[in-house]
Amino acid sequence: MAKQPFPLSDVYGLLEPGPVVLLTTGSGGRTNIMTLSWHTMIEFEPPLVGCVLSNRDYSFDILRESGECVINIPTVELAEKVVACGNTSGREVDKFTTFGLTPVDAELVSAPLIDECHANLECKVVDDRMVNQYGFFILQVLKAWIDPLRAHPRTIHHLGKGAFMVAGETIRLPSKMK
């Protein structure tokens, strides 16, 4: 998939609607993919993103040690693989090979991009003060990539217990909001 750089100032529009994301980490030969829905924008520019990982997640220690990750945004075509990533641990399986996802080298971080996702955000940890208590990492997006051919990506949004809302129609209203 031929991706293009995406303006950092527009990253909020990818994450504000609350899609399920696949977070990739990589450190010292270990890479992993985890499924994650607990994230929020924190600042527009430079874009800061907060996300919650459990200290039981295999990715938790890799993220702490490496200080880097990629937020990959999948669409409904990948829904079964997204759930499979959420139902397994990187301690037991290599999720890239097991689920047929393609790692691609990032430009600025050691964690890989997932080629099949329509957007990828290369991130570094900039604040870990809330990690011990809440598992809450604050990330800065350093570089963003998007597939320019997907004008209306049908992202998926977790409703709990394996139910997902699929992105529907887009409406536009006169707004002064960014």
Of 55-84, binders to a second copy (CB under 8 A) are 76, 79-80, 83
Query: Which residues are CB-contacts of 133 (< 8 A; sequence separation ≥ 6)?
Result: none
Cβ atoms of 59 and 53 closer than 8 Å: yes
Cβ atoms of 131 and 64 closer than 8 Å: yes
Cβ atoms of 121 and 109 closer than 8 Å: no
Would you count residue 160 as binding a second copy (CB under 8 A)?
yes
> Burial level of 168, CB count in 10 A (0-12/13-18/19+)?
exposed
Cβ atoms of 139 and 68 closer than 8 Å: no
The one segment of 8-16, 63-71, 97-105, 116-124 that binds a second copy by CB under 8 A: 8-16
The one segment of 45-53, 56-64, 114-122, 139-147 that binds a second copy by CB under 8 A: 45-53
The one segment of 64-72, 106-114, 141-149, 169-177 that binds a second copy by CB under 8 A: 169-177
Considering only 1, 4, 7, 40, the residue that binds a second copy (CB under 8 A) is 40
Binding site for a second copy (CB under 8 A): 10, 12-13, 16-19, 35, 37-43, 48, 50-52, 76, 79-80, 83, 86-87, 129-130, 134, 136, 138, 154-178
